[in-house]
Amino acid sequence: MERATTLKRSDPWVRLWLGAGFLTLLAGFYFALSAPPDANQGWLVRIMYIHVPTAWVGYLAFFGCLYYSVAYVIRRKEHYDRMAAVSAELGLIFLGLAIFTGSLWGRPTWGVYWTWDPRLTTTAILFVVYVGYFVLRAAIEDPELRAKAAAGVGILGSINVPISYMSVVWWRSLHQIQSINLMTGRVTIAPPMLLALMVNLAAFSLLFIGIARLRGQIALREALLEEEP
Amino acid sequence: MEALLEARQVSKRYGREWVLRRIELSLKPGGIVALVGPNGSGKTTLLYVLAGLLRPTRGSVLRRGQVGLLSSPPAFYRHFTGEENLLFQLRLSGLEQRRREIPELLARVGLPLGKRVFEYSSGMKKRLGLAQLLLFRPAILLLDEPEAALDAQGQELIEVLLHEQTQSGGGVVLATHDPRWWGRAEACLTLERRR
Amino acid sequence: MIGQAPKPRLLARSFWLAWRDLVLELRGRSGLLAAVFFLATVLLILGLALGPAPRQLAQAAPGVLWVALALAGSLLANRAFGLEVEDGTLEQLLLLPGEREWIYFGKLLFQFSLQVSVGLVLLVLTAGLFYLPLAAWPGIILTLVLGSLGYASISTFYAGLLVRLRGREVLLPLLLFPLVVPVVLAAVRATAGLAQGDWSEVGAWWRLLGSFDVIYVTVCALLFPGILEGG
């Protein structure tokens, strides 16, 4: 068992990441609001400043989950399992937000709530994989079995993403469907908009790292409540 | 002499509860170790950990030989006959040529041929389990309450098995409520329930 | 005399495990028959929902076939380790020395055989009810084989993962379906191409299926021993 270092009430690194994240978010907010509206979409384009970062963080989290799942399979340390679950949790939240904001953006802009766009479809599949991940974790009480099972699902689900993506791309290209690029749409990116987007991306990333670390520590404290033999 | 089986600081946790706590055990060739304790004290769990079917949460188990396990109740494929079950085990081990020994073995433990296991009584299943152990002769025998469901004749079979096993340098770990076996063992490990 | 330690032989063990499962499946367990009848009913319902115009039915045929196969795979997976659950015999398999990949391969072979067999039955039914053209039947069967292997690779893995869990009837499809999307997609498109005599995409889809099979069988076989109880 890892000798737990004494946890201070709030770890300085957490404060650093979250602090930096919030400050950057404020800046991002300012830039987003001061950026000009898009030629085609008007003020609606502002949803992009939230939608793109949430999708980005969602995929960051997915990579995190994959990394920690593989690490657990190799090393079998409880820490890796905890962090895999934390990543998956954040991934679930952010991907859900991404799909939701994408939908919100899509309806007034292009008239549809959903397109069978490769990115969106793959994101939806990944979302369902994560839901399954958590239902599985909830169904197993023994921590060791749970960690092993979750790692299996995490790895299989993750390697599925590129394959699914490719197959949906082929599927659509055969029917020559115009692809609505949900990342930027038919938006011409002017420099101020790009700046706002980048700043928000950075803000969300910093917040993600901070939240992940904090959440991981909470999970560690929960685990420490268990007695020694 | 090197021990056939060694458990060092073995602890096993299920969820929040520690079922096994810092178990130490050493089984020497020709030796018998008895596991004693009330129901629910973790005897079966310990046997499974010793067999390698469960991983200990802490500690380690060292095995220097093949392991045979007789569970309580013993597990067989119900829709196969007794001899088909044994034949399947032989095939998995690449020992199919020994299938001739099966009818004789079943006769020895007092089992009829041609009967599917779902028709067996619990005593008969035990005997089939003993037959399997006699067939494969693993170096390490782990028996979980072997005396349960067996009549006097069946108990004798256990005696015979133990005798043959220890004579040929194998070892036995025996979880049992029957005091007669406690005396036969060189070491008794007593397990308690936490609550 | 202490017996010799069994010599581990991976292929032989996998074969005998699959053989035993198939024999026992045919010998007494009527669940398989019930599953086939259920799937036939699904085809009937879909036929009623999508028909009766033959052209529409024929167009829907590849999709219908593979939806039914996806359901079939999920039902069959519940039976993959069914014997081990019912009879409690997983331990005896685990006691054998040597690496445990053979348990996965044996079960995979078992599931794959069942799935292809059920698939052939469904193929015949779909040809009848949905007017699926069978002129290119060797290609369609190849698609069936490739798709079933990919599907079974995952369903077997998850069946083993969930073997002792109680909620597994719902959990298995939930975990399974998102992962088999590429398989179903590729298989449907390949079958549609073959049915229409249009071979342009078929090769590409077969390659996708082939790569999927190789990747997933490998990864699942590597991970499987680790997720078993004593692993």
Predicted confidence (pLDDT) per residue in A100-127, tens digit = 888 887 777 777 778 787 888 888 999 9
> Which candidate from C177, C181, C219 shows the least CB-CB separation from A159?
C219
Contact between C229 and A136 using a beta-carbon 8 Å cutoff: no
Q: Shortest CB distance from C178 goes to which of A129, A136, A155?
A: A129
Query: Is position C2 within any domain?
Result: no
Point out the residue among C162, C212, C227 whose CB comes nearest to the CB of A163.
C212
pTM over 0.95: no
Which residues pair with residue B172 across a beta bridge? Answer: B32, B141
pLDDT at residue C142 in the model: 95
Residue C58 contacts A where some CB pair is shorter than 8 Å:
no
Please determine, for residue C130, whether its predicted confidence score (pLDDT) is greater than 70: yes
Would the pLDDT of A187 be above 80? no
Any domain includes C124: yes
Q: With beta carbons under 8 A apart, name residues in chain A contacting B18.
A: 227, 229
Name the band, by pLDDT with cuts 50, 70 and 90, for residue C149.
very high
- pLDDT tens for B83-120 read 999 999 999 888 888 889 999 999 998 899 988 988 99
In a domain, C4, yes or no: no
pLDDT > 90 in chain A, percent: 24
pLDDT at C98: 80
Query: Which pLDDT band, with edges at 50, 70 and 90, does A216 fall under?
Result: confident
Are A176 and B87 spatial neighbours (Cβ–Cβ below 8 Å)? Answer: no
Least CB–CB distance from B57: residue in A141, A144, A227: A144
- Residues C84-95 have a mean pLDDT of 82
The answer to whether residue C169 sits within a structural domain is: yes
C133 contact partners, CB below 8 Å, separation of at least 6: C58, C127, C195, C196, C197
Provide the pLDDT for residue A2. 45
Global ipTM:
0.86
pLDDT at C126 over 80: yes
Residue C194 lies in a domain: yes
Stretches in chain B below the pLDDT threshold 50 = none
Whether C6 and B78 lie within 8 Å, measured CB to CB:
no
> Which other chains touch chain A, taking contact as 3+ CB pairs less than 8 Å apart?
B, C
List the one residue out of B108, B107, B120 whose CA is nearest residue B81: B120
Q: What average pLDDT does this structure show over C119-124?
A: 95
Q: Give C58's contacts (C-beta < 8 A, 6+ positions apart).
A: C130, C131, C132, C133, C195
Domain residue ranges of chain A, discontinuous segments joined by + = 11-32+43-227
Q: C59, C179, C198, C201: best mutation site toward chain A, by most A Cβ within 10 Å?
A: C179
Portion of chain B with pLDDT greater than 70, in percent = 99
Q: Which of B190-194, C93-97, C179-183 has the lowest mean pLDDT?
A: B190-194
Nearest-angstrom CA–CA distance, A213 and A18: 10
Query: Domain for residue C156, yes or no?
Result: yes
C164 touches C83 (CB < 8 A)? no
Q: Which carries the bigger pLDDT value, residue A22 or residue C193?
A: C193
What total number of domains does chain C contain? 1
pLDDT in tens, B55-74: 888 899 998 888 999 988 88
The confidence score (pLDDT) of residue A134 equals: 93
The residue written with tokens 């009818």 in the block is B103
Domain hosting residue C112, numbered range: 10-228
Q: Of C96, C45, C51, whose CA–CA distance to C67 is shortest?
A: C45
pLDDT computed for residue C127 by the predictor: 92
Give the max Cα distance, chain A: 67
Place of tokens 């790009």: A194
Q: Using CB atoms within 10 A of its CB, is residue B8 exposed (0-12), middle (13-18) or buried (19+)? A: middle
Q: Is B59 on the interface with A (CB under 8 A)?
A: no
